């Protein structure tokens, strides 16, 4: 792929700045009720998809297990999550939001919605919908571009191939 022209670079830089500023605005609203932005993401994810083991939570958030453990401890102290022994494996546990944690996520979501509604008051519903669809498309494209290539599969298992 060729190097972007000056106009392209400017366009993509402006897009990156706008996305960053928007993400900061939204995360600030959500984090106002949480110990920190990663804790907010952790609690929001748990409220959306349900109980998870810490390792799965770290994978979903794309952070280290140690970072997740610190957030779990902070959210547990704040009464926003509960630790539940894993019924399938006594060596581990799952994490799930408490009623208080779910309520905090709902309040944060309301704050974000109100803030965006005020900021986009002169936008049509179609414009907001179009922007949402375009951003979702951008995220899907970025996720595909960043995904590691699928490993090549052998036509037959390696142990059935002739040696040599």
Task: Kindly state whether residue 99 falls inside one of the protein's structural domains.
Answer: yes
Domain-located, residue 129: no
Q: Is 6 inside any structural domain?
A: no
| CATH number (domain holding residue 72) | 1.10.10.10
Question: Is the residue at 106 inside a domain?
Answer: yes
CA 130 to centroid of chain Cα atoms: 21
pLDDT in tens, 3-57: 888 899 999 899 889 888 887 777 776 666 666 888 888 999 999 999 999 999 9
Q: Is position 86 within any domain? A: yes
- CA-to-CA distance for 54 and 66, rounded, in angstroms? 9
Q: Which residues make beta-bridge pairs with 94? A: 84
What's residue 163's pLDDT?
A: 65
Mean pLDDT of the chain: 85
Burial class (CB in 10 A: 0-12, 13-18, 19+), 151: exposed
Cβ burial 76-108 (10 Å sphere, 16+ → b, else e): eebebbbeeeeeeeeeebbbbbbeebeebbeeb
The answer to whether position 94 is within a domain reads yes
pTM: 0.68
Domain that includes residue 89, residue range: 37-115
Domain count, the chain: 1
- Between residues 164 and 57, which one has the greater pLDDT? 57
Does the structure show a pLDDT above 90 at 93? yes
Residue 11 in domain: no
54 part of a folded domain: yes
Tell me the per-residue pLDDT of 66-92, one tens digit each, with 9 for 90 and over: 999 999 999 999 999 999 998 888 888
């Amino acid at each position: 792929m060729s190097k972007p022209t000056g106009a392209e670079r400017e366009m993509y830089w402006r897009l990156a700045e706008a996305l960053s500023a928007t993400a900061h605005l939204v995360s600030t609203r959500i984090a106002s009720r949480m110990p920190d932005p990663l804790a907010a993401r952790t609690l929001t994810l748990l409220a959306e998809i349900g109980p998870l083991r810490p390792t799965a939570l770290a994978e979903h958030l794309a952070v280290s297990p140690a970072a997740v453990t610190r957030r779990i401890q902070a959210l547990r102290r704040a009464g926003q999550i509960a630790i539940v022994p894993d019924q399938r494996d006594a060596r581990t546990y799952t994490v799930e939001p408490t009623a208080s944690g779910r309520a905090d996520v709902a309040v944060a979501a309301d704050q974000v919605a109100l803030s965006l509604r005020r900021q986009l008051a002169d936008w049509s519903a179609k414009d907001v919908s179009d922007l949402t669809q375009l951003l979702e498309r951008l995220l899907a494209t970025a996720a595909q571009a960043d995904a590691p290539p699928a490993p090549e599969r052998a036509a037959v298992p390696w142990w059935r191939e002739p040696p040599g």
